[in-house]
Structure 1
Amino acid sequence: MAYCGNIRQEGCGKLERREKYRLFLYVLLIGSITALFICWMILIWEKIPGAIHIRAGIRQDLDLNVPVSGKLYKAPAETEDGAIPVTGMNAAVDAREAKTLSVDLAEPLTLYAEDIETYTMDLKLFGLIPFKTVNVQVINDKTLIPAGIPIGIYVKTEGILVIATGDFTGDDGQAKEPVGHLLKEGDYILKVNGREVEGKAAFMRQIEESNGEELVLTILREDQEFDLKVRPERNQDGEYKLGIWIRDNAQGVGTLTYLDENNSFGALGHGINDMDTATLMNLKNGSLYTTEIVSITKGENGTPGELTGVIDYKESNKMGTIEANTVEGIFGELNESAASHITTQAMPIGLKQEVDLGPAQILCSVGGAPQLYDVKITSVHLDHDNINRGIELQITDKTLLETTGGIVQGMSGSPIIQDGKLIGAVTHVLVQDPTRGFGIFIENMLIQ
């Protein structure tokens, strides 16, 4: 009897373990399916741009092949008559909602509008699950002159940028930290005692001549402006200090991307960030200067290369003024003399939905006049989280590879051209493989 009882207990134990194992497999299966579904949804999300630009008066195809559908209508702020005409097998007017069109992005779609307007596309996954809202902007067709010339860049910050804080040894031998936790890396000092800061040298002189009296600093931090009080203290040399490291300018070499009919320019394809804080620098003013490439450091796997240019900051070498420093690049106006030296022909822009995988070219100068070099577009991200990395490309031109090893620092802003259209600008190099890099769509540079 006891023996049979043991057999039954062993059998029950095996059955219980089997049930637990089966439950584990079910949970693993459900988890795997859920993970795959989420990954698939992310891929679908990235295939649908958050914003679509179409040219007024021109029919344009959109072939995303994704299982989403929804409604297309004029943006709420625009309540007057007319909806954007949509053609294609999947487009049908919704009779219940005036001026609203049904769209299905699983099928090719043709968009057409005559007026400059903004529309909204509300999309649902499988037509059921709210998924994404897309802004559709009708724009005038535009032509730009691709430049591809090297430029010297000099910018002054709006106020003084704090790049680090710390302590120092005072005249009594004790550690001093006057600003304590009051100031942070990335702060901008705009005013001292209500007066605008004139520059790094003038600010340092104010601190040294303060005689340890309390100062009121006006600070800009993440778009918030406020005042705080600090009291400079003496170091071992008897000089008054705050214990901060500051910067009020930046300079470097880049590439001019385009020029329009009004001599307005765009360059770099990304903003000028401070090298220490990695934050976008607040621009007070800036200038472009002529520069001559004097040496090239060839890029290697793990080590990016560089174009080294000589910049003479004389007024006679000034090419133009920088009026904006944004995530999408630097923008401003060239003077007539500089504009007259750009002789390339104007060409239409290519919108991001028109960019194809395959052959393209970049226009850049690695010594002498700008030249076209062959590249291959390897991937297109219509809705990349990083606006500066919508295009992935690879250098295929043997001459450029022999000269630079691929994409190097200083080539940021080099125009990317495909099928006779300006589609973007080079922005980054892949450090582990300098033959590969990224670019920004030209339309993103134009909406800054």
Structure 2
Amino acid sequence: MRKLVLRVGLTVILACLLALATVPYWVSAVGIPSELKVFPGMELSLDLQPPLRIWDQAGLEVTGFFNTENLGTSVYRVNLFGWLPLTEVVVDVVPLVRVVPGGQSIGVLLSADGLMIGQLGPVSDVDGVERFPARDAGIQPGDILMSIEGNPLHRPEEVSQLVNSLAQEKKTLEVQVRRNNRVLTLTVQPVKTQQANIFGQSSLTYLLGIFLEDPAAGVGTMSFYDPDTGRFGALGHTITDSRGRPLTIASGSIVEASIDSIRYGTKGSPGEKVGFFHGDQDVLGTIDSNTGFGIFGQLQGAIPAGAVREPIPVAFAYQVRLGPAEIYTVLQGDRVERFAVEIIKVVSQTRPGEKGMIIEVTDERLLRETGGIIQGMSGSPIVQNGMLVGAITHVFVNNPTKGYGSFAEWMVYEAGLGQHLEIPAKQSSSREGFFLHIEKEFKEPMFIKVECSEVGENTWSQEHLFWGSSGQMCMP
């Protein structure tokens, strides 16, 4: 009898241990989410069949819809057979967020915190002797030139002005550079040299032997804005320097832009929008945040009309479905138009993450005029079932009809909307690129001067900003 009781007891214990060991399988197989966000009054239920049962915090079984009447967080327990705990489901009832979807083309003007030193070079002095003032001072390519004699730097022309003004009285100049998150103070001796202008006239000037990169400027797309608070989001990517490092933005602005023409995209050769903007006189807003989901800031002026004039709800990530959707973007001038796309893959995300969905362009006119997703479309809003669900981010270089999108939910949080938090003004640690990624393989970004050709080293173009990896990716 004792042996029988012992066997039964061991069998029960083993069964319990087996059940506990298979908890992750049950949770994964049934697809039980760990967290759900809903709007007040929204109907929400989990379609779980016996032996799975749900209990609320008061110990009452939930047989229908969750209670979503009041703002706040509730924790529900999912049990197996009514007694074996499997997992918890957190239900957050949050305010309904409405924004106006964008699609407008915008120019982005940045004043970075310091200037990127792209290369070092020799300087011939007045006697014809070749010197390397920056190299001899310990300056390296990739350093961020922060200041000269305590004067902060934001534009390349400021360096020449300061050096030529100060070097007439001081033999050496104290400069500050940032290298790998460390600020170094170095001493450099400018070299006096003879320089000729475009008219052939010679003059004496002082040089440091450095080649600087101009702070980024380019054309992108507005994703959304909140007419009540004036907060906006655009681009969908971190703005980086030529070495793929996120720029620390001292100040920046968005301005009105107009699209002049379209360069058609084909397999292996992405297309692009050819546009222009007028500069500081048409400022629409200021940039205060550069994150992995784009740039965010505060509007200052009136936004040109888009495809939708009234705010629409922002969808939660889990509400995005496979099927038809629309994107809003500009192909000519400043007129925002709607184009049909298909959401063909949705990535399950309960925390902010990039590349949340894959879309495919199905609109015949868009395919005919652009070939699919092209440079300059980054940030174009994706709308499904009357809700803003995301924004275009990447495009596949070998198939420009397809590309990635990020969830709008994460973007509005970055803008400081939909949460009881202060407006963020953080800089991103993401290594994503600028305006539009064109993706074949996921590699580290770099700027290249040629469009998408194979290149051996990083180069820089002030006229157009491209992004790529071994010639396989590029961006406007």
Compute the TM-score of the two structures, normalised by the length of structure 2: 0.65
Q: Write out per-residue CA displacement over residues 166-195 of structure 1, whole angstroms, 9 at most, x where no aligned residue.
A: 242543645626346944555433332333
Cα pair 1:390 1:441 within 8 Å, conserved? yes
Question: What is aligned with 2:244?
Answer: 278
- Listed one character per residue, the Cα deviations across residues 327-385 of structure 1 (whole Å, up to 9, x for unaligned) are 21112233443366775232111111111112111111211522211111111123499
Residue 312 of structure 2 corresponds to 347
2:281 is the alignment partner of 1:321 = no
Distance in 1 (CA, whole Å) between partners of 2:399 and 2:48 is 30
* Amino acid across the alignment from 1:217: V
Give the 3 Å change call, closer, same or farther, for CA 198–366 of structure 1 in structure 2: closer
Cα distance between partner residues in 2 of 1:63 and 1:309: 50
Q: How does 1:221-260 map to 2 (within 5 A)?
A: 221=179, 224-234=181-191, 237=194, 239-260=205-226
The equivalent of 1:55 in structure 2 is 39
Query: Are 2:95 and 1:140 equivalent residues in the alignment?
Result: yes
Indicate if the aligned counterparts of 2:171 and 2:190 stay in contact, CA closer than 8 A. no
SS of residue matched to 1:344? coil
- Secondary structure (helix, strand or coil) at the match of 1:153 reads strand
Give 2:132's aligned residue.
176
Higher strand share: 1
Query: Structure 1, residues 145-165: CA drift from partner, whole Å, max 9, x if none?
Result: 112111122121122233x23
Per-residue Cα deviation, 1:213-251 (whole angstroms, up to 9, x for no partner): 3333333445x4523213134276475433332235221
- Residue of structure 1 equivalent to 2:265: 299
Gap change, CA 1:152 and 1:399, over 3 Å in 2: same
Match of 2:119 among 147, 165, 169: 165
Counterpart in the other structure of 1:408:
374
Report the Cα distance in structure 1 between the residues aligned to 2:115 and 2:61, rounded to whole angstroms: 53
8 Å Cα contact 2:133/2:189 also seen in 1: no
Q: CA deviation at 1:63?
A: 8.0
> Structure 2 CA distance, aligned partners of 1:271 and 1:402?
30
**Residue 71 of structure 2 aligns with which residue?**
115
1:235 to 1:195, Cα distance in 2 relative to 1, 3 A: closer
Q: Which shifted more, 285-294 or 201-210?
A: 201-210
Name the counterpart of 2:361: 395
Tell me: CA distance 1:213–1:113, structure 2 relative to 1, closer, same or farther (3 Å): farther
Residue from 55, 72, 80 that aligns with 1:92: 55
For 1:367 and 1:311, locate their aligned partners in 2 and report how far apart those are by CA, in whole Å: 14
Listed one character per residue, the Cα deviations across residues 418-448 of structure 1 (whole Å, up to 9, x for unaligned) are 1111000011211111101111100111122
One-letter amino acid matched to 2:221? T
Instruction: State the distance in 2 between where 1:181 and 1:330 align.
Output: 36
What code does the residue aligned with 1:271 have?
A: T
| Deviation larger for 256-265 or 345-354 | 256-265
| C-alpha separation in 2, matches of 1:183 and 1:133 | 55
TM-score, structure 1 normalization: 0.69
Q: 1:193 aligns to what? A: 149
Does structure 2 conserve the Cα–Cα contact (< 8 Å) formed by 1:170 and 1:233?
A: no
Alpha carbons of 1:331 and 1:342: their partners in 2 closer, same or farther (altered >3 Å)?
A: farther
2:468 is aligned to: none
Q: Distance in 1 between matches of 2:205 and 2:74?
A: 59
**C-alpha deviation, 1:279, in angstroms:** 2.2
Could you say which residue in structure 1 is the equivalent of 2:346?
380
Cα distance 1:198–1:377, how it changes in 2: closer, same or farther (>3 A)? closer
| Preserved CA contact (<8 Å) 1:49 1:382 | no
State whether residues 147 and 256 of structure 1, in contact with CA within 8 Å, keep that contact through their aligned partners in structure 2: yes
2:232 is the alignment partner of 1:265: yes
Match of 2:172?
214
Work out the CA distance in 1 between the residues paired with 2:129 and 2:32. Answer: 62
Would you say the 8 A contact 1:257–1:415 is kept in 2? yes
Aligned residues: 368
Match 1:205 to one of 148, 161, 167: 161
* Corresponding residue for residue 332 of structure 1: 297
Q: Offset at 1:295?
A: 0.7
Q: Is the 8 A contact 1:179 1:242 kept in 2?
A: no
Instruction: Work out the CA distance in 1 between the residues paired with 2:270 and 2:329.
Output: 17
**Amino acid aligned to 1:158:** D
TM-fit CA distance, 1:394: 0.6
Once the 2 structures are TM-superposed, how far is the Cα of residue 289 of structure 1 from its aligned partner? 2.0
2:467 alignment partner in structure 1: none
More helix by share: 1
Q: Which amino acid aligns with 2:342?
A: K
- RMSD (Å), alpha carbons: 4.2
> Aligned to 1:442, which of 408, 429, 439?
408
Shift, 1:49, TM fit:
8.6
AA aligned opposite 1:229: L
Tell me which moved more, 149-158 or 230-239: 230-239
SS in 1 for 2:309: coil
Q: For the pair shown, which has the larger CA radius of gyration, 1 or 2? A: 1
The alpha-carbon distance between structure 1 residues 332 and 386, as it changes in their structure 2 partners (threshold 3 A), is closer
Could you say if the C-alpha distance between residues 153 and 134 of structure 1 is closer, same or farther in structure 2, counting changes exceeding 3 Å? farther
2:411 is aligned with 1:426: no
Q: Structure 2 unaligned segments of length 5 or more: list them.
A: 1-23, 79-83, 195-203, 415-476
Task: Sort the Cα spacing of 1:395 and 1:251 in 2 relative to 1 into closer, same or farther, 3 A.
Answer: same
The aligned amino acid for 2:146 is L
Cα distance in structure 2, aligned partners of 1:353 and 1:333: 28
Mark the runs of 5 or more structure 1 residues left unpaired by the alignment: 1-39, 66-87, 123-127
Identity %: 29
Quote how far apart the aligned CAs of 1:306 are. Answer: 0.4
